[in-house]
Each structure stands twice: as C-alpha cells, then as structure tokens.
Amino acid sequence: MDVRATARFVRISPTKVRDLCRAIQGKSVEEALRITEFNKRKGAFVLGKTLKSAIANAENNAELSVEDLYVKKAVVDGGPIIRRYQPAARGSAKPIQKKTSHISITLTDVKPSRAKRRAA
C-alpha cells in the first residue's frame, strides 16, 4: 500500500533539495530519517519534516508498521516564484527570484527492487 505526504510552497529552491531526494529514494524509512537528521542543510530539515509526516500518515491512517516501510518516491517540483526587485546603479533595478518548492514523498510497504533493466 502506498502512503503520501506533501509539503507545498516551501521557501527553498528546488535544486537545493533534489539531490537529497535522490539520496533517500529506495531506502528504508529508518535509513532515510538518518540521512535527513544528520545533514546540516535546510533542505534536509524540510525533507525530514515531510518524511515524518508521511510516516505518521502510514501509522495512523493505513495502520502500517514503520519497520516495513520504504521510500518509494521522493519528488521536488518547482512552485510559484516570488519576484522582487533590488535597486542597482544609475537608477536601474535588478530582478530577484525567490523560488518555492513542492515536496512529495511516497512510502510503500513493499521493498523496491534494485535491479535495473538493461535496454537490449
């Protein structure tokens, strides 16, 4: 059974979180929590909060055991960009883009297979 959790409109650039999402995909929940808790980056903190929310959804809504859960999919999509301008030299203005992210984590109780199919 698949269980999802989503954090929307997070005030961090999607590129700063994507490499951590790739690091936790296919791992057990305990190992993914360890990766997010011992990383200093802001993206790890936000990803950890979303992962804990998905775990709580699995325990309370689907009655699944935490020991049997794996991260099936972790995706970061870009959200809306807040556009601001900063004054620059000679009366001009520089655009500033404040990017946001939508983080989605899907957990499953079936162990994902590591074998990749080769194209023949």
pLDDT at site 74: 95
CA separation for the pair 38, 77 (Å, rounded)? 24
Pairing, β 101-108 against β 2-10: antiparallel
Q: Is residue 32 a part of any domain in this protein?
A: yes
CA separation for the pair 30, 76 (Å, rounded)? 21
- Determine whether 75 is exposed, middle or buried from the number of CB atoms within 10 Å of its CB (0-12, 13-18, 19+): middle
47-59 tens-digit pLDDT? 999 999 999 999 9
Q: Is residue 25 a part of any domain in this protein?
A: yes
Q: Is residue 119 a part of any domain in this protein?
A: no
pLDDT band at 112 (very low <50, low <70, confident <90, very high): confident
pLDDT at site 111: 84
Q: Is residue 16 a part of any domain in this protein?
A: yes
**120 pLDDT higher than 60:** no
Q: Is residue 71 a part of any domain in this protein?
A: yes
In total, how many domains does the chain have? 1
Q: Is residue 118 a part of any domain in this protein?
A: no
CA separation for the pair 81, 55 (Å, rounded)? 29
Q: Is residue 115 a part of any domain in this protein?
A: no
Q: The CATH number of the domain where 17 resides is what? A: 3.90.470.10
User: What range does the domain containing 54 cover?
Assistant: 2-108
Q: Is residue 116 a part of any domain in this protein?
A: no
